[in-house]
Amino acid sequence: MRHLNRLIKITIVLFLLYQGNTFSSITTGKYAGEFLAVGVGARYLAMGGTAAASADDITAMYWNPAGLGFLSMTQMHAMHSERFAGIVNWDFIGIGVPLKHNRTLGFGFFRLGVDGVPLTKLYNESDSVGIGKTYFDESGRPIQNVPYAYKYVNPNDAALFISYAINQNPRFKFGGTIKMIRRSAGDYTAWGVGFDIGTIYQAASWMHLGATVKDLTSTLLAWSNGTKELILPQIRLGFLSPMRLKHFGIRVASDVLINFEDRSSVAQVSLGRAGFDFFSGLELNYLDRIGIRAGIDRGAFTIGTGFNLSSIHLDYGFLAHSDLGSTHRISVTLTDTKNLFNLNR
C-alpha cells in the first residue's frame, strides 16, 4: 500500500509539471467534459442525480470517491443506459475492493458512444455543380449530385477510473479518483488525465454532508490535430437525511452543482462565470428489499425502482426530458459475500 500511495503522488506531480508547461497554448472548452456529466448508476439517476452525500456503492468513484469507504465487501457493478431511442449508448463497469486499515480501492471503465455515424460528401464537389443538381459523368450518364456516405465512424468517449478511499473514522470519509480520458471524433482523438477528490461527513444520524471537486487541477485534453482543451473544475455539494420508520427506510437528498465555464444560458442560476444547477431526490424502501425512487434533475423529472435479491441488486432509472429525450438506465450490482477478491487475505 505504501508503494501505491507513492505511485499516486508521483503521477500527480508529473501531471502538474506537464500542465504548467502547456497552459499557454490551451483554450477552455466550455463543454469539453460534458460526456462525463451523464452520471453512472440507475439508482442515482432515479433519485434526481443526488449522490454527493448518498453514494455508498461502487458508483461512488464517479459521484464522490469518499463513498467507497462504505464498502465492507468486494462489489461489482455493471450499467447500461440509452438516450435518443437507443442512438446514444453509455456503459459503466466497476469493481471495489476493501483493503486493510479501512482503505478501499476501486477500478471502473466508462464509455459513451454513437455507433455507425456516416460521413458524407457530394458525388461532385466542384463549385460549378450545386447540391441536388444533375451533372454528366465521363461516360455521359446523368447523375444527381447528392450526398453519399463514404465512411462510417463510431465517435465515442471513454474514461478509466482508479479510486482510493480512506475511512478515517465512522463519521468521516475521504477519497480521490484518477481518470484517464480518451475521446474520438471522426479522424481525431484526444487524451487527458484528470483528478477528483471528495469527502463525506456524518454530522448526525439524520444528516450526512458530502462535497466533491471534479477535475481538481483542470483536466487537459490534447487532440491529435494539435488542439488543446481545458476542462475546468466543478464543485458538487450534497445533503442526505436517512430515516427509519419500522420496516421502511427513507432517504431524502439534495445536491447543488457549481461550474465556472460561464454557462449563463443553460445554468438554472448564474452569478458571473459561475453557474448553479440543483438536484433533489427521494428513496423509499421496504425491508431493504424493494425501493421506489423519484427526483428532479435540473428541472427534469426522474423515477425508478430497485430490488435487493440477497447479494444481487437490480436497479432501473428513468429521466424525462422534453428537449434531450428520455433516458433509460439499468444497473446490476453484485456484492461478493464470500470475499473472493478481498486483498486482506
Q: What is the dihedral of CA 295, 298, 301, 304, to 10 degrees?
A: -50
Expressed as residue numbers, the domain containing 329 is: 2-114+155-335
Find cell 457530394 and name the residue.
122
Determine, yes or no, domain membership for 340.
no
Please name the helix (run of DSSP H) or strand (run of DSSP E) that holds residue 305, with its range, or none.
strand 300-309
Determine, yes or no, domain membership for 169.
yes
Is residue 145 domain-shared with residue 159, that is, in the same domain? no
Sign of CA dihedral 178, 167, 278, 294: positive
Is residue 185 domain-shared with residue 322, that is, in the same domain? yes
Determine, yes or no, domain membership for 203.
yes
Helix (H, G, I), strand (E, B), or coil: what is residue 235? Answer: strand
Determine, yes or no, domain membership for 54.
yes
Determine, yes or no, domain membership for 341.
no
**Residue pLDDT, tens place only, 281-328:** 999 999 989 999 999 999 999 999 999 988 899 999 999 876 667 889
Distance CA 135, CA 297 (A): 53
Distance CA 230, CA 228 (A): 7
Q: What is the pLDDT of residue 137?
A: 78
Determine, yes or no, domain membership for 342.
no
Is residue 105 domain-shared with residue 81, that is, in the same domain? yes
Please name the helix (run of DSSP H) or strand (run of DSSP E) that holds residue 250, with its range, or none.
strand 248-259
Determine, yes or no, domain membership for 136.
yes
Burial level of 158, CB count in 10 A (0-12/13-18/19+)? Answer: middle
Is residue 144 domain-shared with residue 177, that is, in the same domain? no
Question: For residue 256, which of 265, 266, 267 has the smallest C-alpha distance?
Answer: 267
Is residue 235 domain-shared with residue 330, that is, in the same domain? yes
User: What is the longest distance spanned by two Cα atoms in the chain?
Assistant: 84
Is residue 71 domain-shared with residue 125, that is, in the same domain? no
- DSSP letter, residue 229: E
Is residue 80 domain-shared with residue 226, that is, in the same domain? yes
Distance CA 319, CA 8 (A): 36
Is residue 225 domain-shared with residue 79, that is, in the same domain? yes
The residue among 131, 150, 169 that closes a domain is 150
pTM above 0.85, yes or no: no
Residue 202: phi and psi, rounded to 5, are -90, 95
Is residue 143 domain-shared with residue 292, that is, in the same domain? no
**What is the grid cell recorded at 163?**
479510486
- DSSP letter, residue 123: S
Is residue 43 domain-shared with residue 128, that is, in the same domain? no
133 Cβ partners below 8 Å, 6+ apart? 144, 145
| pLDDT lower than 50: segments of the chain | 1, 3-24, 337, 339-345
4: left (phi over 0), alpha (psi -120 to 50) or beta: alpha
| Alpha-carbon distances, residue 160 vs 66, 177, 229, 263, 298 (angstroms) | 18, 10, 19, 27, 27
Please name the helix (run of DSSP H) or strand (run of DSSP E) that holds residue 63, with its range, or none.
helix 60-63
Count up the domains in the chain and report the number.
2
**Residue pLDDT, tens place only, 237-285:** 999 999 999 899 999 999 999 999 888 778 999 998 899 999 999 999 9
124 Cβ partners below 8 Å, 6+ apart? 135, 143, 145
Is residue 202 domain-shared with residue 123, that is, in the same domain? no
Burial level of 202, CB count in 10 A (0-12/13-18/19+)? Answer: middle
Is residue 37 domain-shared with residue 173, that is, in the same domain? yes
Q: What is the pLDDT of residue 31?
A: 64
